[in-house]
Amino acid sequence: MSRKMTEYAAPDCGEGSTENGLRYTALCSPKFRSCLLTFYFYVHRTKETAPVHALLTDLLTASSAAYKDHAALSLRLESLYAADFSAKLSLCGDDAALVFTASWLDDRYALNGEAITGQVLDLILGCLLQPNAENGAFCDPAFRICKQNLLDDIDCLCNDKREYALQQAAAIAYQGTPAAFSVHGSREDAETVTPAQAYRVWQEILRTSFCEIVCVTPEPKPEIEAAVRGALGQLPRNAAFFDFDAPTAPKQRPAVQTETMPLEQSKLVLVYRYDSIPREVLAVLCGVLGGIPESLLFLNLREKQGLCYYCALQSSQFKHTVTIDCGMDAEQAETVQAAVAEQLRKLQDRDFPDEMMRQAVLQYEYHAAAVQDAPDSTAAAAAAMYRRRDLRTPEALAEAMRQVTREQIAEAAKQLTPDTVYLLRAEDGEEADADAG
């Protein structure tokens, strides 16, 4: 049975709600004029399968047995009132989700009363279950094109110096676990992927992956669930529920690494580990430290002291880490580290204004409200609730955040233990040349 909810009413997230390794959630909001269907195929990652997973998201949305190339598939989607079918790979701690999303105009708005929904379902289920493959292998030239796209993406990573620095820091912080691999995997492993290997991995995913399915429509459409369950239910599935919590193992001492590269701005990434912090406390802590426009890091490092060009913060609930990254001049690296440590001490000493805590809650409420404005963000929020095993609505979480005390923030801040320091340093003269230019 599907679990229904309107707007943000919490769905039943118990493992008993699954059927054949599938969980289907239907959400209805009359303010939308389009429909959206998202499949989350959860997978365990290895060094060898990481690039295959990335490749599959491109390959399965580029062609199918019925539409042999991207041009034919795109033309068919365009004929369905510009329907869309896309995919991405999303990391979830040590695991990942292959996320396939289809969106299309609701049947009520078709000019000639066409049954768009049924045609879109036939198309996307065909892409997933009858891919462009023969004799146990994906077909060329589609496979060759998608593989080259993957290699190009890997090669382009170092062009975005901030993302490159964040990935290098993650590789150090999460060494020995799948979270250390980049979303695309390594070029060395990507080069060895064959059409037969990719096909075998996809067939294994269809058999063993826990599949989260979220459908967002303007009005109830039980025929979508019937079609999806009917198609996937025919597969010989043996799927288990995923537990994404994978805390980072403590290091005896922080890992420190510096890399030099021609670039205009040096990048510093600091990773902190914690044991266990309630979600509402972590949300307020991260907001006060670096998540709101007038956070401790922004006000003190960037505005008052002028130590960095930007200073950002992100947390990984599944890995139990908080990551701070800055762009700055290389000679400021040690000063920035000391300044970040000073802001953490302020948290531990409760040396911050109450207004920052209120602003952290208000910002969360603002973003939570914006989620409801589009079908894709609505679906993503529902899936995230399941992954976190936290079915509190945004309203309930915001209320819990309002109850967080300064003492809780201070105690949580004391848990933040330095884990990794990574500096991507501009080669001598590079920053000066950039400033002169």
pLDDT given for residue 436 in this prediction: 35
pLDDT given for residue 170 in this prediction: 97
What gap in Å lies between CA 154 and CA 178, rounded to an integer?
Answer: 17
Report the run of H or E that residue 370 belongs to, with start and end. helix 354-371
pTM of the model: 0.91
Write out residues in the chain with pLDDT < 70, as ranges. 1-18, 429-437
Cβ atoms of 70 and 141 closer than 8 Å: no
Cβ atoms of 59 and 70 closer than 8 Å: no
Q: Peptide bond preceding 141: is omega within 30 degrees of 0, i.e. cis?
A: yes
Look at the block and give the residue holding tokens 């059927």.
Answer: 19
What DSSP designation does 107 have?
G
Cβ atoms of 43 and 53 closer than 8 Å: yes
Domains for the chain: give ranges and CATH numbers. 3-232 (3.30.830.10), 255-436 (3.30.830.10)
pLDDT given for residue 10 in this prediction: 37
What gap in Å lies between CA 165 and CA 406, rounded to an integer?
Answer: 33
Cβ atoms of 86 and 61 closer than 8 Å: yes
SS (H, E, C) 109-150: HCCCCCCHHHHHHHHHHHHHHCCCEECCEECCCHHHHHHHHH
Single out the residue of 312, 306, 295, 310 nearest to residue 346, CA to CA: 295
Q: Tokens representing 417?
A: 């233990």
pLDDT given for residue 430 in this prediction: 57
Amino acid code (one letter) for 314: Q
Residue positions counted in the chain? 437
Report the run of H or E that residue 41 belongs to, with start and end. strand 34-44
Per-residue pLDDT tens digits for 97-145:
999 999 999 999 999 888 999 999 999 999 999 999 999 999 999 999 9
